Structure 1
Amino acid sequence: MRRYLAIALDCYLCLLAAGLLTRPYVHAAETGRAVVLTALPALALSFVNQVLLTAAVRGSAGKLIMGVRVVGLPDARRPGLGQLVRRWLYGLVRPPLQPWYWLRPQPARTCVPRSTSGQPGNPQPGIAQPECPRPSSVADDDVAGLRQVRRGDLRTYRRSVAAHASA
């Protein structure tokens, strides 16, 4: 939930700043120019927020407010500039294609019931069976090899890695 609130906050802050920057010029321009005058600064501010600020402090403005950090996988390292640019470009392209993802037919999921011994077979009556494993989805995986984590979880992970390395 924090991730989505951070994204919404980033979008709101970017559009608000772009609107405030271009307000004096929009009234003097015609409608077509007004859209361009607002869109270009919004893209520039989005790049600064999502790429440069994240490279400097591991999070955009919305993520910092919500207590979320962006880390590289698998070792929670600082994200690289190339990864951040790729992630930003993917974020610009994916939302317009979102209806296409909803219209695609989803593959059918089948689940083989397991017996109490863990082998495929007939389950025993009265014993709760585990659910089918949840398949990985595009929403869970980041294309640039980055993940958004809570700041407290990142601190705990680093402490456990340091304790394990010293032992």
Structure 2
Amino acid sequence: MRVPRPAGEGRRILAVTVDLFAVGCPAYLIIRGEDGRPLTGLLLLLGLSFANQVLLTYLLRASIGKLVTGIRVIRAADGGRPGLWRTVYRWLSGLCWLPLQPYYGVRAFFRGMGGGGPARGTVADNDDGELYHGDLAGLRYARRRDLAG
């Protein structure tokens, strides 16, 4: 099977935005009724995120946002269905990457002032903390219509 090219950046950003609303809005509404308990909110967000990013992706090859935008998650090597452990690894990597974004911003600021030398372009040493999710955990995002052909 021919592995389709990755989905475009705009479509991926739109899918992430839909996912944020699909997970964040219900969590916010439930937490609001819980008198603002932060631990309950965090656990609810993690649970909804896991269900959306891991379980739906494992079962349907897409999260809510990816279903809406016509993206499917495939194995980068052969275009097959993503396995459960690969989807869990991709989800955990994203959770670990997000809290580091302020650090990457401060580091890029000081690099711009002449300290630290040029970035090498790796996840561990780059200017903007860019984590290319396209092939993370051996998974890739492809347009649904590219899979049909």
User: Quick one: which amino acid aligns to residue 34 of structure 2?
Assistant: Y
- 2:134–2:141 CA contact under 8 A, matched in 1: no
Aligned residues: 122
Q: Gaps (5+ residues) in structure 2?
A: 1-9, 109-117, 122-129
> Which residue matches 1:67?
70
Question: Does the alignment pair 1:153 with 2:146?
Answer: yes
Residues in 2 aligned to 1:54 and 1:83: alpha-carbon distance in whole angstroms = 10
- SS of residue matched to 2:135: coil
Shift of 1:107: 3.5
Higher helix share: 2
> Which residue matches 1:41?
44
Q: Quick one: which of 64, 72, 83 aligns to 2:86?
A: 83
Larger radius of gyration: 1
> Which residue matches 1:128?
none
Residues in 2 aligned to 1:67 and 1:84: alpha-carbon distance in whole angstroms = 18
- 2:97–2:131 CA contact under 8 A, matched in 1: no
- 2:76–2:135 CA contact under 8 A, matched in 1: no
> Which residue matches 1:164?
none
- SS of residue matched to 1:69: strand
Residues in 2 aligned to 1:87 and 1:25: alpha-carbon distance in whole angstroms = 30
RMSD: 2.0
Change in CA separation of 1:24 and 1:85 when aligned onto 2, cut-off 3 Å:
same
Question: Does the alignment pair 1:14 with 2:23?
Answer: yes
Residues in 1 aligned to 2:59 and 2:87: alpha-carbon distance in whole angstroms = 11
Change in CA separation of 1:25 and 1:99 when aligned onto 2, cut-off 3 Å:
closer
User: Quick one: which amino acid aligns to residue 20 of structure 1?
Assistant: L
Report sequence identity in percent: 43
TM value normalised by structure 1: 0.66
Q: Quick one: which of 132, 142, 145 aligns to 1:139?
A: 132
Q: Quick one: which of 37, 52, 56 aligns to 2:55?
A: 52
Q: Gaps (5+ residues) in structure 1?
A: 109-136, 157-167
Shift of 1:46: 0.3
| Structure 1 runs of 4+ with >3 Å offset | 99-102
> Which residue matches 1:106?
119
- 2:53–2:87 CA contact under 8 A, matched in 1: yes
Shift of 1:50: 0.4
Residues in 2 aligned to 1:140 and 1:59: alpha-carbon distance in whole angstroms = 14
- SS of residue matched to 1:95: helix
